[in-house]
């Protein structure tokens, strides 16, 4: 079945550091890909999405490119802030309901 694998956390970075969170997927067909973010005590918020190969999703300085050849959708940000501290989930939707990765906890220290 469809699945998502993302890098284990936690990830701890200093403010203004570069962020990469790796995400790879297994799916039949052409799934849509998503990154969600969960702040403490809250539900999930959609951060960005891409619906076809080579699409780049971007929002709030975060970017991810849908790479069908490597089945990847890595999340990047050039300069993280303390306010980016949260748990990040990679997800896909193909012929099934949303399938999530395990989540990566990011802590940014000043």
Q: With CA atoms as reference, report the closest residue to 101 among 45, 25, 41.
A: 25
- Report, in Å, the least distance between residue 33 CB and another protein: 10
Separation CA 81–CA 109 (nearest Å): 8
- Report, in Å, the least distance between residue 15 CB and another protein: 27
Interface with another protein (CB under 8 A), residue from 42, 69, 70, 110:
42
Token output for 108: 């940014």
Q: What are phi and psi of 83, to 5 degrees?
A: -70, -10
Answer yes or no: are the C-beta atoms of 4 and 92 closer than 8 Å.
yes
- Count residues binding another protein (CB under 8 A): 20
3-class SS of residue 67: strand
Interface with another protein (CB under 8 A), residue from 14, 28, 83, 96:
96
3 touches another protein (CB under 8 A): no
32 touches another protein (CB under 8 A): yes
Residues that bind another protein (CB under 8 A): 32, 36, 41-46, 49, 51, 89, 93, 96-103
């Amino acid at each position: 079945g469809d699945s998502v694998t993302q890098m284990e956390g936690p990830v701890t970075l200093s403010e203004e550091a570069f962020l990469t969170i790796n995400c790879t997927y297994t799916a039949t067909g052409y799934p849509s890909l998503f990154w969600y973010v969960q702040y403490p005590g809250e539900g999930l918020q959609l951060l960005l999405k891409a619906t076809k190969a080579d699409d780049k999703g971007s929002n709030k300085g975060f970017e991810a490119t849908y790479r069908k050849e490597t089945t990847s959708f890595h999340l990047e940000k050039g300069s993280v802030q303390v306010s980016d501290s949260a748990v990040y989930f990679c997800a896909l939707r193909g012929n099934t309901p949303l399938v999530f990765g395990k989540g990566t906890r990011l802590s940014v220290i000043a």
